[in-house]
């Protein structure tokens, strides 16, 4: 399983797009380590990197939304919290069962389903807001 970043996922805010690409890279590194059978320690380590990066990314994205007065901030933050809880549950499973096939496939589903949906709907709304705001300032 490999998740690919596509142009249609671009939000139009360089910092966010860059972080989304990195997020995909980190998931892919985790999944590749698992698929190549590179030991439990390495796979777990890559999962922790992914987990830490998700937290950093959400915090950065939320800070940006507050800076620009994004009107849908609260609902957006709730989605981040929901995803954070899902990832935390995976982290607990990782601690108890190790990088099992079922855990890795749950992580994959979360990234390909939930996260991509979130990026294409919620995050792209931030991009639109930024653009409209700039146009408003210019006009
Ligand atoms: Fe977001």
Which domains, and CATH codes, for the chain?
13-134 (1.20.120.50)
Chain length of the chain: 139
Could you tell me the distance, in angstroms and rounded to a whole number, from the CA of residue 89 to the centre of ligand 1?
Answer: 19
Q: What is the pLDDT of residue 20?
A: 96
Cα(112) to ligand 1 centroid in Å equals 15
pLDDT at 119: 95
Across all residues in the chain, what is the average pLDDT?
Answer: 94
pTM of the model: 0.92
DSSP states along 111-125: IIIIIHHHIIIIIHH
- CA angle 30/6/37 to nearest 5° reads 20
Distance 85 CA to ligand 1 centre (A): 14
72 CA distance to ligand 1 middle (Å): 11
Give per-residue pLDDT as tens, 13-38.
999 999 999 999 999 999 999 999 99
Separation in Å, CA 58 to CA 15, 20, 48, 51, 52: 12, 10, 15, 11, 10
Instruction: For residue 123, give Cα distances in angstroms to 16, 37, 57.
Output: 9, 34, 12
Question: Between vectors from CA 18 to CA 62 and to CA 64, what angle results, nearest 5°?
Answer: 20
| Predicted local confidence at residue 137, as pLDDT | 81
């Amino acid at each position: 399983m490999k998740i690919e970043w596509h142009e249609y996922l671009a939000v139009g805010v360089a910092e966010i797009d860059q972080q989304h690409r990195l997020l995909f890279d980190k998931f892919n590194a985790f999944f590749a380590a698992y698929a190549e059978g590179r030991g439990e320690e390495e796979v777990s380590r890559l999962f922790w990197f992914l987990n830490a990066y998700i937290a950093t990314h959400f915090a950065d994205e939320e800070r940006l939304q507050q800076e620009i007065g994004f009107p849908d901030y609260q609902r957006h933050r709730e989605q981040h919290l929901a995803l954070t809880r899902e990832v935390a549950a995976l982290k607990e499973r990782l601690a108890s069962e190790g990088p099992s096939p079922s855990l890795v496939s749950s992580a994959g589903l979360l990234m390909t389903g939930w996260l991509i949906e979130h990026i294409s709907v919620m995050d792209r709304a931030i991009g639109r807001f930024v653009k409209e705001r700039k146009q408003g300032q210019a006009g």
